Amino acid sequence: MSQRVRRILIALCAAVVALVGTGAPAHAHGFASTAYADVKENDAGRPRTTVALEYDLLVVSAADAAHDDALFRQGTAAFESGDARGRAAVLDAHADAAVGYVTGRFTLSSDGRPCVPRRHGGFTTTRRDGAPYAVLTLDWTCPGGDAGLEVRSTLFPDAEQYVKGTKTIVTYAVDGLTGSAALDAAHPSFLVGQSWYQRFWEFFRLGAEHLLTGIDHILFLLALIAGSRSPREVVLTATAFTLAHSVTFLLAALGLVEVPAGVVEPVIALSIAVVAGWHLWRLARRDDRAPESREPGGTGHLRLDRAGWTRLGVVFCFGLVHGLGFAGALGIEAAWSWTLLWSLLVFNLGIEAVQLAIVGLLFPALAVLRRRSPRAGRRATGLVAAGVAVMGLTWFAQRLAGL
């Protein structure tokens, strides 16, 4: 391989790390919001929705839409005070603005005709994923009853510039039909009773998009790929990561395990730095220059040494923490059901599909580079690992400072 080609490859690696690093926020999930809606029938057999939204976002968005400065001042003060009753009282005092904002962006329709909402009780508050949420219950009168019931959500759009990428997780049990759906700007509505493949695609897409937009998880994968010396090692490492994050993702999303996001996010950042730093340490010890250790009998498979098994264990442990991060992004806290479990598994499949695609694209390219020019391969992976380690440490410090 010519010197020019080597320099181009190394420059491309540096550009990828620099681009990802400069464009990534300190909190990789902090620029998105998740709203939750539960749709069921009330005592009169009509649709009733319980909508939960981040309290501070509802305050600023509703105040801005209604030009209600008092709501902004009082809601901000209640948010900072930590008084749950006070927060609900502020929203009740400004119910026209708060309810008007929600019903203007969260709607039901029946056979194409809009349903009419009516507030059921006052606002309440709760906490989800470490953040305060406002909860609003609405009863709906639909001209066509439950026939052809469509749910639509455009809450907290990007145009408001308070968050980027809002999704609404909907669960429903209406007219004998149960299920769930994930709504966002690209797919803002769905029909109750949609087919299984439509629900599959929604949660599969949601999982895939989350990994693609979760810069910290992508950097972790880059560190794993850069530090793996053979297809066997990268497969074992990726499998350990997959098994670990799948376990904690399902347990946390089902509400069986709960760890504060203030703990999870810094540890995720630290995991990026540790895994990338591990590869730099091996390069410094010149371990990657040693001939590969083969299995007895000439099978040709790389045999993991003690350091390799230790790295595998570290990756597994960090994978458990990443699973908590994936669960926090989905944020479902509904009661156990097979429908819910199915949605979670499909979401996880979307994550795995993108993860495998990243490994499948990048590792072969690095393997070819290492085979043709071991020195250029070490430089390229070292450069990637160094950039990833710096970003991980930076995020770790920023997230600790934000606690």
Please spell the DSSP secondary structure of 19-46, one letter per residue. Answer: HHHHH--SSTTTT--EEEEEEEE-TTS-
pLDDT at residue 366 is higher than 50: yes
Cβ atoms of 292 and 230 closer than 8 Å: yes
Higher per-residue confidence, 10 vs 63: 63
Q: Average pLDDT, stretch 200-223? A: 81
**What's residue 194's pLDDT?**
63
Residues recorded for the chain: 403
Q: Average pLDDT, stretch 8-18? A: 44
Cβ atoms of 46 and 140 closer than 8 Å: yes
Closest residue by Cα to residue 269 from 401, 370, 95, 93: 401
**What's residue 233's pLDDT?**
82
Q: Average pLDDT, stretch 36-65? A: 93
pLDDT at residue 393 is higher than 60: yes
**What's residue 12's pLDDT?**
42
Q: Please write the tens of the pLDDT for every residue from 377-388.
A: 788 888 888 888
Q: What is the DSSP string of 190-252?
A: EETT--HHHHHHHHHHHHHHHHHH-HHHHHHHHHHHHT--SHHHHHHHHHHHHHHHHHHHHHH
Q: Which residue do the tokens 């530090």 mark?
A: 227
pLDDT at residue 120 is higher than 90: yes
Q: Average pLDDT, stretch 204-218? A: 80
Q: Which one-letter DSSP state was computed for residue 292?
A: P
pLDDT at residue 327 is higher than 80: no
Buried b (16+ CB within 10 A) or exposed e, 23-40: ebebbbbeebbbbbbbbe
Q: Please write the tens of the pLDDT for every residue from 239-290.
A: 888 888 888 887 876 777 777 777 888 888 888 889 888 888 888 776 554 4
pLDDT band at 95 (very low <50, low <70, confident <90, very high): very high
Cβ atoms of 191 and 357 closer than 8 Å: no
**What's residue 307's pLDDT?**
67
pLDDT band at 212 (very low <50, low <70, confident <90, very high): confident
**What's residue 305's pLDDT?**
66
pTM for the predicted model, two decimal places:
0.58
**What's residue 146's pLDDT?**
64
* Cα distances (angstroms) measured from residue 395 to each of 21, 33, 252, 272, 400: 10, 20, 23, 9, 8
Q: Average pLDDT, stretch 294-303? A: 45
Amino acid occupying residue 363: F
Share of the chain above pLDDT 90, in %: 24
